[in-house]
Amino acid sequence: MQVNENCAVSIHYTLSDEEGQQLDSSVGQEPLVYLHGANNIIPGLEQALTGKAEGEQVQVTVQPEEGFGEVNPELVQSVPREAFQGVDKVEPGMQFGVQGPEGQTQRVTVSEVHDDTVTIDGNHPLAGQVLHFDVTVEKVREASAEEIEQGMPGEQEEPGQAQA
């Protein structure tokens, strides 16, 4: 079966940056399982996997606009240090969930800490970066109606497994 819309797909991947530094990998762990066509993974990777079959290996370079987007300078802001009440020590690299303008939770990363202010960045940590993926398609199956409705694959028992 080939990877197409409404397929539950299991992949192993290694993600590297432009310098070849490994940023993430599923190798040696459980594969990443996603619903193809449901925006569960970045668009550039999803496009590259369309039409692939179990066992195929793919190397793909994803530009920022097809990955985590370009860096948006408007998402970098200085906020008063008092906004972090209850946090003993605020350091660069720390991440916090903040409430966005429409009530949604948004993740921000602390980029600088000064005496009275803290600079936070609401961009995804990989925004603006060219990403390199080495991917192996492990498994492809039709998604159930429930999985399609939920927009993500659920736990599927393997053939031959008894239910507990």
The model's pLDDT over 116-136, given as tens digits with 9 standing for 90+, comes to 999 999 999 999 999 999 999
Distance set, CA 59 to CA 12, 68, 98 (Å):
12, 18, 36
61 Cβ partners below 8 Å, 6+ apart? 130, 131, 132, 133
The model's pLDDT over 56-87, given as tens digits with 9 standing for 90+, comes to 999 999 999 999 999 999 999 999 998 888 88
Give the model's pLDDT for residue 155: 63
The model's pLDDT over 36-51, given as tens digits with 9 standing for 90+, comes to 999 999 999 999 999 9
pLDDT band at 147 (very low <50, low <70, confident <90, very high): very high
Q: Which domains, ranges and CATH numbers included, belong to the chain?
A: 7-68+127-150 (3.10.50.40), 73-121 (2.40.10.330)
Per-residue burial over 81-106, b = 16 or more CB atoms within 10 Å of its CB, e = otherwise: eeebeeeeeeeeebebeeeeeeeeee
